A = this chain, B = another copy of it.
Amino acid sequence: MHTDPDYSAAYVVLETDAEDGLSGHGITFTLGRGTEVVVCAVNALAHHVLNKDLEDIVGDFRGFYRQLTSDGQLRWIGPEKGVVHLATAAILNAVWDLWAKQEGKPLWKLLVDMDPRTLLSCIDFRYITDVLTEEEAYEILQEGQVGKKEREEQMLTHGYPAYTTSCAWLGYSDDTLKQLCTEALKGGWTRFKVKVGADLQDDIRRCRLIRNMIGPEKTLMMDANQRWDVPEAVEWMAKLAEFKPLWIEEPTSPDDILGHATISKALIPLGIGVATGEQCHNRVMFKQLLQAKALQFLQIDSCRLGSVNENLSVLLMAKKFKIPVCPHAGGVGLCELVQHLILFDFISVSASLTNRMCEYVDHLHEHFKYPVTIRNASYMPPKEAGYSTEMKEESIKKHQYPDGEEAGYSTEMKEESIKKHQYPDGEVWKKLLTAQGN
């Protein structure tokens, strides 16, 4: 569905006049074209954050969230979805980064240490109280206090389990696939995701190849990236059931709650769960996916929802419905961000690792000041203060559009991209733009 991604991000920097000299960095991930539209929306929202005190913002974080998401005029072009919501995420991610830095803690630790009432005061419960009231949420957080210290220790020692999506993108040749899979097995990976949905025979061949390589015990997931209509999803997956996937991810439109419920119902007898969330646009949609039993694995995204604030509400609803959260990551910086949320989820909310793992994609980490640390196929808790959102100055200088020296490219799609699109790898933005007459 996203055939020519050129991995990009809208990047927000909040500077203050405080003596600590700290700045907050927030991103939202994009696929290239359209980044400028998100940046335009960030600018349209900027007046809500300019000249404000951080203390006032986080002191009434629910109010601030509401202000951003219910701007009387901008609300019309959302609400709480698409471009304006991605822009909201970028701004709020920067606020959380700044807050965590001021507190001198990595974001996950800021959340873990936060008093439950304060945590709840960051959440806008509008439109979800029929499923989760503030009091129920409080009870969940109170329960989460039991054994919290031990779970934090466990995370610091062993990390949070991850799975890899780096081996089996659609464009890869079988040889590349084998090579990457061999390397991943050597690296200690036990959970693998393969992209499917373009061609059934091709899927069967590739899934067989991977299942044979990893053996029957290791975990295989499949990802269709919204390729199918509802009946097609059920038929197609029946044909891939023999390879024992744990889940099929994004089998159809991300908006189709009832469609996902139909697919779930049909696939449960085959032992296959439905996973979705990377394009689920807000807490109201997640609420319904849970109500309708439309998913068995819930995939939050750190940059599509309204930052930590909205993700907190989704983690709490998932806990209530006993659905494991397995975050979406990859892209640009999504691994860096979402690790904080899933660490908090384990330590303070879910208290379980059963059927839980966080996506990992091995690329573009080199642009971040505090890149993720993976050890034994697990995310090791970051120790630096903040939300790990800050990019290296050198990277920004190089890749900033349109003044940077270099056009970005998608590492993960590189093989295919070069072949298909002849994307001028190494070409510079300025040259490109000059050639286009801009």
**Chain A residues at the B interface, C-beta cutoff of 8 Å:** 1-6, 30-34, 36-38, 40-41, 44, 70-86, 126-130, 226, 229-231, 252-259, 262, 279, 281-282, 284-285, 287-288, 291-292
Contact = CB atoms under 8 A, between A and B. Distances in A.
A73 B33 contact: yes
Nearest to A129: B229
B33 A40 contact: no
Given A33-B71, A33-B74, A229-B129, A81 B258 contact: no
Contacts of A44: 33-34, 36-37
B84 A31 contact: no
A164 to B, nearest CB: 22
Counting chain B CB atoms within 10 Å of each CB, the highest count among A2, A73, A128 belongs to A73
A230 B287 CA distance: 12
Given A31-B73, A70-B1, A76-B2, A37 B231 contact: no
15 contacts: A31-B74, A31-B75, A34-B44, A37-B83, A78-B83, A81-B81, A82-B82, A82-B85, A127-B253, A127-B255, A129-B229, A130-B229, A255-B282, A256-B284, A258-B288
Given A32-B73, A37-B44, 13 more contacts: A30-B73, A30-B76, A31-B72, A33-B71, A33-B73, A33-B74, A34-B41, A81-B82, A127-B229, A128-B229, A130-B259, A130-B262, A258-B292
Nearest to A2: B72
A203 B82 CA distance: 33
A74 B79 CA distance: 18
A231 to B, nearest CB: 6
Contacts of A78: 82-83
Given A1-B70, A4-B73, A83-B37, A255 B230 contact: no
A127 B256 contact: yes
State how many copies of this chain the complex holds: 2
Given A83-B37, A127-B229, A257 B288 contact: yes
Contacts of A82: 77-78, 81-85
Nearest to A74: B34
A78 B279 CA distance: 9
A204 to B, nearest CB: 23
A225 B257 CA distance: 23
B254 A257 contact: no
Contacts of A31: 72-76
Given A44-B34, A73-B31, A81-B82, A284 B253 contact: yes
A31 B31 CA distance: 28
Contacts of A41: 34, 37, 83
Nearest to A40: B40
Counting chain B CB atoms within 10 Å of each CB, the highest count among A70, A129, A258, A292 belongs to A258
A81 B38 contact: no
Contact of A40 (B30, B37, B80, B252): B37
Contacts of A281: 81, 255
A339 to B, nearest CB: 22
Contacts of A2: 72-73, 75-76
B231 A75 contact: no
Given A77-B38, A127-B252, A258-B292, A5 B84 contact: no
A131 to B, nearest CB: 9
A74 to B, nearest CB: 4
Given A81-B81, A229-B129, A6 B257 contact: no
A40 B44 CA distance: 12
A226 B126 CA distance: 10
A414 to B, nearest CB: 15
Contacts of A256: 127, 284, 287-288
Counting chain B CB atoms within 10 Å of each CB, the highest count among A1, A82, A259, A282 belongs to A82
Contacts of A285: 255
